Chain A
Amino acid sequence: MLEIKDLHANINGKEILKGINLTIKEGEVHAIMGPNGSGKSTLSAVLAGNPNYEVTKGSASFLGKNLLELSPEDRSREGLFLSFQYPVEIQGVSMVNFMRAAVNEHRKYKKLPALSASDFLKLMRERKEFVELDNSLANRSVNEGFSGGEKKRNEIFQMAMLEPRLSILDETDSGLDIDALRIVANGVNKLKNPHSSTIVITHYQRLLDYIKPDIVHVLYKGQIVKTGTPDLALELEERGYDWIKKELGE
């Protein structure tokens, strides 16, 4: 589904990703862990097409297409979803208008007719249940005045609406208390199906207790330095990252 080869990327002229290789198959859940500043969020931003980052080398194909040539909106329409670490607030734009625009753009891309207002509202009511958001959601402005937990639940709600093939959860657990974490993780698990894949970016094992990864990677200084089974995450939780640095001869 996703194949990344020797990917290098800069921000403001500084190289952050220094040769990422990663292959994700249909139905797999990959966890990417690593210390602060290792490039985890940069990787998700680059995959989503954030214009602040410049890819200098390497390739990334998504469902057989050259991902790096697609505009950010087309990447979304192709089925790539990023759950933002810090979702932005958009004053004055209601969630219902925002999601309706998004869903209908996705449908247009697939040459499907736009959803009627009533069908859309029905879908929205159904999907917000995944993350236990209440009815007031529809008329609230996008993320405006949302608590930290609500913002993350709202991200997963949008994921439920757009039914992506590949979801990247960028530190979705940060700033969540244990109840919110459970709600968010449950939402993600309910959305899982044999044709969709997930990249979970996190610092902590905690989230992986709920969202079980198939494969765990350690990202360090812009490269994937170790790949293993879910046991690797447990080991990191116990021993920290120093032993990996030692293995790398630092």
Chain B
Amino acid sequence: MPENIIEDFTKGEYKYGFTSDIETDIIPTGLNEDVVRLISAKKEEPEWLLNFRLKAFEHWKKLEPPTWAHLDIPEIDFQKISYFAAPKKKVKSMDEVDPELIKTFNKLGIPLEEQMALSGMAVDAVMDSVSVKTTFKENLMEKGIIFCSFSEAVKHHPDLVQKYLGSVVPYADNYYAALNSAVFSDGSFVYIPKGVRCPMELSTYFRINAENTGQFERTLIVADEEAYVSYLEGCTAPQRDENQLHAAIVEIIVHDNAEVKYSTVQNWYPGDKNGNGGIYNFVTKRGICHENAKLSWTQVETGSAITWKYPSCILKGDNSSAEFYSVAVTNNYQQADTGTKMIHLGKNTRSHIVSKGISAGKSQNSYRGLVKVAKNAENSRNYSQCDSLLLGDKCGAHTFPYMDINNKSSVVEHEATTSKISEEQIFYCNQRGISTEDAIGLIVNGYAKEVINKLPMEFAVEAQKLLQVSLEGSVG
């Protein structure tokens, strides 16, 4: 009967759920000071970085996990997680890469061999705790662009790393940020020198493979004055019954007149239709904009059992601007509490927020956003639009907008809508020859269009497919 049409929402299969048989160097589970020291030693880190980690760890021990999000988070036993796993073989050239590893990334559609990279996109591939390969590194270096794994950056560009690490997200920022700062393994580092426009999309692909491990990557992007870069991030994980923890930090520094676009397609394993397994995704992403700088966050969130994530921007410089475009899909028992923080400090700063939530099954989907305008941020402007789309009547959509406005010349606007895919709409599509699955795809992609259009071309096509797959079987 009609209710069933929008009820059986759970046949969608996760197509990245395979595991790869790769020899892995994995440290025993558990977390203490020795483990922090061990990670640092394995990565042959300088003293200052070890001290950074130790300070973070000391601080983390004093913290409690945050409980303010609209999430039901089972207690996590941090002693049952392994904090470092790496594919065993060290890689110097492509010939030395474990063929299983190449196979894995090919299966994910990420070509590691440069001649195969069709789109001219530079890729950094991170498997479990380490970066396995960065493509086009040499080509980029000719323009002075640094694009490498975080570990390499520590070795070859320690001054840059030391200058910026923790400058936007201090280790004491929050519980998961402190944890990441103590045990982070690898990630990507990007530096675009003054006046340089990065000629290709830079992209990092994160993959969790090993069992019982957490992934704690750290990304640091610095765009020097008048520089420009577009950066993409993708992620997947094998299908497992137990939950795995992913706690990352992304820091972005956008200097005067520079621009950074950061796009994410997050497709961590969401758990099965009964809510077993899946990734806990607790991520701190933040950027700082100096004078006349621009930062744009675009995210398509379809994966993870639990998502806790608020890509934010500190608009420090006068005339700087930021955007946040988000589509978050939850299905089955997934939970998402995601949104942004826009902190207006400079004069004439502008921010634009477009959040599109799509909830299906028995999932809970929340938007949480803060717009803060400081006393001196004259003529600041914010516009927020938060839309929710519901499929069925067992899911939830929530909006938690916070505003803290301390300047009278500023204008802040917030609009919110909630809509539902109705049986009448589905039947109308059916009557024109469009199947129910395709009808949902059309409606969902139409709804998310504004955000999808912000993604680079190749990603947009992927994201559209992903939206449809994520909701497959949602309507019977």
A interface residues, Cβ below 8 angstroms from B: 48-52, 71-73, 75-77, 81-82, 84, 87-88, 90-94, 97-99, 101-102, 105-106, 109, 141-142, 158, 162
Contact = CB atoms under 8 A, between A and B. Distances in A.
A162 B433 contact: yes
A88 B428 contact: yes
Contact of B430 (A49, A91, A93, A141): A49
A48 to B, nearest CB: 5
A142 B432 CA distance: 12
Contacts of A71: 430, 435
A90 B425 contact: yes
Among B2, B425, B432, B438, max chain A CB count under 10 A is at B432
Interface in B391-429: 419, 422-425, 427-429
15 contacts: A50-B427, A73-B433, A75-B431, A84-B431, A88-B428, A90-B428, A93-B446, A97-B446, A98-B442, A101-B434, A105-B434, A105-B435, A109-B433, A141-B446, A162-B432
A91 B417 CA distance: 12
A213 B368 CA distance: 59
A77 B433 contact: yes
Contact of B2 (A49, A51, A94): A51
Interface string B257-280: 000000000000000000000000
Contacts, number: 80
B447 interface: yes
A133 B424 CA distance: 24
Nearest to B438: A101
B433 A76 contact: yes
A88 B422 contact: yes
A71 B433 CA distance: 10
Report the contact-size class of chain B (Cβ under 8 Å from the partner).
20 to 34
Contacts of A97: 442, 446
Given A49-B431, A91-B446, A102-B433, 11 more contacts: A48-B427, A75-B431, A77-B433, A90-B428, A90-B442, A92-B447, A97-B442, A97-B446, A101-B438, A105-B434, A162-B432
Contacts of B422: 88
Contacts of A52: 2, 423
A51 B433 contact: no
Among A51, A73, A109, max chain B CB count under 10 A is at A73
A76 B438 contact: no
A51 B431 contact: no
Nearest to A161: B432
Given A51-B2, A158-B432, A72 B427 contact: yes
A82 B431 CA distance: 7
Given A52-B2, A90-B446, A92-B443, A105 B438 contact: yes
Contacts of A98: 429, 432, 434, 442
The 10 closest A-B pairs by CB, nearest first: A92-B446, A72-B430, A93-B446, A76-B433, A102-B432, A105-B433, A92-B447, A88-B424, A73-B430, A77-B433
B446 A76 contact: no
B5 interface: yes
Contacts of B435: 71, 73, 105
A102 B439 CA distance: 10
Contacts of A88: 422, 424-425, 428
Interface of B: 1-2, 5, 419, 422-425, 427-436, 438, 442-443, 446-447, 449
Nearest to A51: B2
Interface of B is mostly: helix
Given A51-B5, A51-B427, A52-B2, A90 B443 contact: yes
Contacts of A72: 427, 430-431
A158 B431 CA distance: 11
Among A49, A81, A94, A101, max chain B CB count under 10 A is at A101
A218 to B, nearest CB: 26
Contacts of A81: 431
Among B1, B423, B430, max chain A CB count under 10 A is at B430
Contacts of B427: 48, 50-51, 72
A48 B431 CA distance: 7
Contacts of A105: 433-435, 438
A101 B442 contact: yes
A93 B434 contact: no
A91 B447 contact: yes
A77 B425 CA distance: 18
Nearest to B432: A102
B446 A51 contact: no
A79 B214 CA distance: 55
Contacts of A49: 430-431
B6 to A, nearest CB: 11
A73 B434 CA distance: 6
B421 to A, nearest CB: 9
Contacts of A142: 428
A87 B434 contact: no
Contacts of B443: 90, 92-93
Nearest to A109: B433
A97 B434 CA distance: 12
B185 to A, nearest CB: 41
Contact of A93 (B2, B431, B433, B442): B442
A142 B424 CA distance: 13
A50 B432 CA distance: 12
Contacts of B431: 48-49, 72-73, 75-76, 81-82, 84
Nearest to A98: B442
Nearest to A158: B432
A51 B432 contact: no
A98 B442 CA distance: 8
B428 A87 contact: yes
Nearest to A48: B431
B448 to A, nearest CB: 8
A142 to B, nearest CB: 8
